[in-house]
Amino acid sequence: MEIRAIQTFHYVVALGGFQKAAEELNYSQPAITFRIKQLEKDLGVKLFERGKTLKLTSAGRIFYNQSKQLLQDYEALDAEMSQLRAGARDFIRIGISEPFASLKFPAVLADFLNRHPEVSVDVYVDDANGCSQRLEKGEIDFAVCGEPEIKLENYYDPFYSDELVLLVGAAHPLAKRAAVSLADLRGERLIFTPVNCPIRIQIEQALHRKIGNDYKKMTVTSSSAHKFYVQQNIGISILTKTATLYTVSGTKVIRITDVEIHPPIGILLNEKQQGLSQIVKDLMTEIQHSFFHFPTESEGTAR
């Protein structure tokens, strides 16, 4: 089964006929017909019901839907190879989790590419488990994320321990405080990440020990969006320090005195990988160093 036969099949479906596909691909109609017949022979099924109008058989519909991803993967691979043929010295595919993907990595990457303009980089934003799955499939070279579920062939090297802080609206009564305890959050509406988020689970366990269930819950799946909900005084949010690097006006970050939760951030690699190139190692090093320089208010943190 040839990839060009599958591509031809998709053209016939998209354009509604063999002749239109032949015109689009600049082939004769018999050539297109031959490719489809050969594809049907390879698959052992009929793909089209031939008549006055061309219709997919049930097998044809299944093959059409399932082969879409195959063609997308092939096109992505072909694009990568084209970049290499064009002379790109290195091509890096990196998986990154929020909030680092939005808040810190763009500046790190801009500086890196200014010094290495010959390098091509693709960024895949996903949660820790999503990054782990991409790494297993060979879709990325490494990831920067929280600790994912254990995978046999992936290994996680934490390099930074984050801390948790409270984000409140400027008009909230707690905004007058320099620090709070979990007991001070009794009766508040807390904005959380998804229920399966490991950090949320740890936070709720800590809250339960201090105040039981005496608080309201609201889920906003993107931690990067929490500050905008807090800004509108919809609720308050317990976030990592990294997530509050660049707050918005009308919000305030407050220290929490009695939370001993330090979410890790680390490099995720796969043991099947061949040796990483020096340029990949350089980017990993710069990412790690970036976590030990936090911006001041004048660099973009609004209060």
Query: Residue 298: pLDDT band by 50, 70, 90 thresholds?
Result: very low
Q: How confident is the model at residue 294 (pLDDT cuts 50, 70, 90)?
A: low
- Specify which of 5-9, 16-20, 55-59, 213-217 reaches the highest per-range mean pLDDT: 213-217
Q: What string of DSSP letters covers 88-143?
A: -SEEEEEEE-TTHHHHTHHHHHHHHHHH-TTEEEEEEE--HHHHHHHHHHTS-SEE
Q: Token pair for residue 150?
A: 């254990």
141 close to 94: Cβ distance less than 8 angstroms: yes
Instruction: Provide the domain limits for residue 34.
Output: 3-70
Is residue 141 domain-resident?
Answer: yes
| Amino acid code (one letter) for 166 | L
Closest among 145, 141, 142, 139 to 97, alpha carbons compared: 145
Strand partners, 114: none
CATH no. for residue 290? 3.40.190.10
Tally of CB atoms within 10 A around 243: 27
Contact in structure between 39 and 46 (CB atoms under 8 Å) = no
For residue 84, is it within any domain?
no
pLDDT over 60 at 7, yes or no: yes
Torsion sign over Cα 158, 164, 165, 166: positive
Domain of residue 19, CATH code: 1.10.10.10
- Residue for token pair 């693709």: 122
189 occurs within a structural domain: yes
> What is the structure's pLDDT at 77?
77
**Mean pLDDT across the stretch 225-237?**
95
pTM, 2 dp: 0.63
Confirm whether 108 is domain-assigned.
yes
129, 270: one domain: yes
pLDDT reading at 86 higher than 60: no
Going by pLDDT thresholds of 50, 70 and 90, the confidence category of residue 205 is very high
In a domain, 188, yes or no: yes
Instruction: Please give the single-letter amino acid code of residue 74.
Output: Y
The predicted structure's pLDDT at residue 300: 44
Give every CB contact of residue 26 below 8 A, 6+ residues apart in sequence.
none
Tens digits of residue pLDDT in 141-164: 999 999 988 777 889 999 999 999
Q: How does pLDDT run across 190-202, given as a tens digit for each residue?
A: 999 999 888 999 9
Distance between CA atoms of residues 71 and 163, nearest Å: 43
Token pair 């990595």 in the structure block, residue = 105
Q: Give how many domains the chain has, as a whole number.
A: 3
Of the chain, the percentage scoring pLDDT greater than 70 comes to 92
Q: What is the pLDDT of residue 287?
A: 94
In the predicted model, what is the mean pLDDT of the chain? Answer: 88
Q: What count of residues does the chain have?
A: 303
Does 156 share its domain with 272?
A: yes
Name the nearest CA neighbour of 21 among 33, 50, 60, 64: 33
Same domain (yes/no): 98, 235: no
- Among 74-88, 97-111, 140-154, the least confident range: 74-88
In angstroms, the CA 235 to CA 251 distance is 11
Q: How wide is the angle at C-alpha 292 spanned by C-alphas 195 and 277, nearest 5°?
A: 90
